[in-house]
Amino acid sequence: MLWAMNIFVIGDSISIHYGPELEAALRGSGIGYARKTGVEAAEKNLDQALGANGGDSSMVLAYLRHGLREGSAITADTLLINCGLHDIKTDPATDARQVPLEAYRENLEAIVALVTQTMKRRLVWIRTTPCDERIHNVRCSSFHRFAADCEAYNRAADAIMAAHRVPVIDLFTFTVNQGADVFCDHVHFHPHIRSRQAAFIAGWLQGFRASR
């Protein structure tokens, strides 16, 4: 008999976009769905860490610590977490990243320890989706992103998750394989890509649950 599984999603605007279809795909599967609240606030500006948007790794860590102090509303046994796109935001004037790579590593180490040791929850990491600077940095002038940073931060996360035996959903590679015309703006995806991402994650979760 399969064990009951309940997930709680903490992620950036990419997860807000695929979220409704992921929830629908999981309905009736024995996997419950919830996420960081405030979707309406987040959708007012998807480039800002508002409401349901988890933001960068420092913000995700702060959210988890706040929940622990205040009595966390997270009742799910499994946390699906992603952060990276906000971390690699680059100031065009100074070339400074919002969260430097070494700080990103430190934050992820702290997130893993907090979730798996202190909160005693199962952690599943989702790799950060790709960005194309040729598209992004023309369409978005207030901050830039670079593909090399996305890949470097993903590699850093890969190493940390592997060291701690945290399972990883490779949404980066899945999305790269969807072809060239995937972006509806500078970094977000067309609705049909979001649908595929949701189906991919739902399938991964069902397989993970069955294998436990």
DSSP string, 139-162: H--SSB--HHHHHHHHHHHHHHHH
Task: Report the 10 Å Cβ neighbour count for 43.
Answer: 15
What pLDDT score does 43 carry? 83
What pLDDT score does 205 carry? 98
Contact 155, 177 (CB under 8 A): no
Task: Please report where in the chains the tokens 């035996």 appear, as a residue.
Answer: 165
Contact 107, 101 (CB under 8 A): no
Calculated CA dihedral for residues 179, 180, 183, 187, nearest 10 degrees: 100
The domains located in the chain, with CATH, are 5-211 (3.40.50.1110)
CA atoms within 13 A on the CB side of 193: 23
What pLDDT score does 69 carry? 82
**Residue 11: strand, helix, or coil:** strand
DSSP string, 124-136: EEEPPPP--HHHH
Taking CA atoms, 206 is separated from 8, 24, 129, in Å, by: 15, 13, 21
Strand partners, 48: none
- Tell me which H or E stretch contains 60: helix 57-70
DSSP-derived secondary structure letter, 15: H
Q: What is the pLDDT along the chain (212 residues), one digit of tens a residue?
A: 577 899 999 999 999 999 999 999 999 999 999 999 898 888 888 788 888 999 999 999 999 998 888 766 688 999 999 999 999 999 999 999 999 999 999 999 999 999 999 999 999 999 999 999 888 988 888 999 999 999 999 999 999 999 999 999 999 999 999 998 999 999 999 999 999 999 999 999 999 999 97
